[in-house]
A and B are shown apart, each in its own frame.
Chain A
């Protein structure tokens, strides 16, 4: 099985590659359209800023390719947000795989909730084969200031300021706001489940 990790100008994508290596998966980091199209599984990682990431995807024509992919696809962190319709970050039109809005955390009292949301928080309302073997005691590592709104596509939620979509699923597309590659055994389990789908 060949896993393609989409390479773009965002954050520490190397760690996703290392995480897959620890699971014994064969993975490559690439922005080549053909390699991505032919891969058995695709992971779309990333940290960074939405509008500059979208610009990079457009330059590489990845914005046209990604929504048409048919194999299992996993958007992580910024990758989840870019799969949505629109992000408040840089007022960015995104890939619209999930017709969902990405919003900024705006706590009423800044003392109660710091932004970015940094650290370990738990998953709730888990419902998906992707989350098999996990329950609401599962903690994952977050670093983000924007979140995907709850929708019919939510397969797990996390509560910070308000409940948001921790993970989402539609057809062959899965997405997760936290970093599975940095979420200890829980993250490993999620990546393993994704590889086994």
Chain B
């Protein structure tokens, strides 16, 4: 039976993890490879690396990091952040990434989704959508959720599916950082509309939130960062809990 996926997300800046990471067993708290290895050993189903490096010349560091990660771990991983061209994708896939994720670049130039999917196959193209509810309507936001667009989230999700995205990473900017649970309503709405899997992100605070997003939210996977980094919810415990509660999980 196909299982629901648990995906820790690591923020990367100039080849190092940022945001506090609270792992006692880490020798080097800023080493993404070591952290990736721990998560993979703990039973994470996939990993996402989000590069927040601002400058272009530092991006070479990212490709080098991707190769180190690919050599070290035996589960799939996605790389996102600042990717805008077919060439960017090529560099990261050749370095050993399994998938890439695009966000702002796709909003700016939707045709790039078709190009990337045609060149590398839909299976490795994840489109990240940051959504925020404004007066009852869900709008796509870019630039880390700071910039509003006129695109309605539901319509954009449908469009990226049709353009050849292999998965959607849906982040609710309303829920992100609140620890009050995932945005189950919009996640369920998007997931039910699409033929491709939806990864829910934003709002994880308790184990029950994961159960809710897999049931009420109809999500295929759930992503979180700080609750894993700060060991508030250990992955083995979370997976055991979900499995006991009847969610299909890889143990």
Contact = CB atoms under 8 A, between A and B. Distances in A.
Interface residues of A, number: 38
B98 A15 contact: yes
Nearest to A77: B123
A184 B37 CA distance: 11
Contacts of B197: 114, 118-119
B153 interface: no
Interface string B148-169: 0000000000000000001100
A194 to B, nearest CB: 15
Interface in B51-77: 70-71, 74-76
Given A115-B195, A141-B76, A15 B70 contact: yes
Interface in A135-170: 137, 139, 141-144, 159-160
A117 interface: yes
Nearest to B249: A120
Contacts of A182: 74-76, 98
A28 B13 CA distance: 33
B2 A187 contact: no
A49 B122 CA distance: 10
B192 interface: yes
A116 interface: yes
Choose among A49, A117, A184 the residue with the greatest number of B CB atoms under 10 Å from its CB: A184
Contacts of B45: 119-120
B70 A48 contact: no
B123 A116 contact: yes
A183 B194 CA distance: 26
Contacts, number: 90
Contact of A118 (B96, B121, B192, B220): B220
Helix, strand, loop or mixed for chain B's interface? loop
Contact of B98 (A12, A159, A187): A12
B2 A47 contact: no
B134 interface: no
B1 A122 contact: yes
Interface in B68-125: 70-71, 74-76, 93-98, 120-124
A12 B1 CA distance: 26
Nearest to B74: A184
Interface string B1-37: 1111100000000000000000000000000000000
Contacts of B123: 47, 116, 118, 143-144
A11 B121 contact: yes
B74 A120 contact: no
Contacts of B195: 110, 114-115
Interface string A53-67: 000000000000000
B222 interface: no
A118 B167 contact: yes
B2 A119 contact: yes
Contacts of B196: 114-116
A188 interface: yes
Interface string B187-205: 0000010111100000000
29 contacts: A11-B124, A12-B93, A12-B124, A15-B70, A15-B98, A19-B74, A21-B71, A47-B123, A48-B121, A118-B197, A119-B4, A119-B5, A119-B45, A119-B220, A120-B2, A120-B5, A120-B45, A120-B250, A121-B1, A121-B2, A121-B3, A137-B251, A139-B250, A142-B2, A144-B123, A183-B74, A184-B75, A185-B74, A188-B74
Q: Which 6 A-B pairs have the closest CB atoms?
A: A120-B250, A139-B250, A143-B123, A121-B2, A18-B71, A182-B76
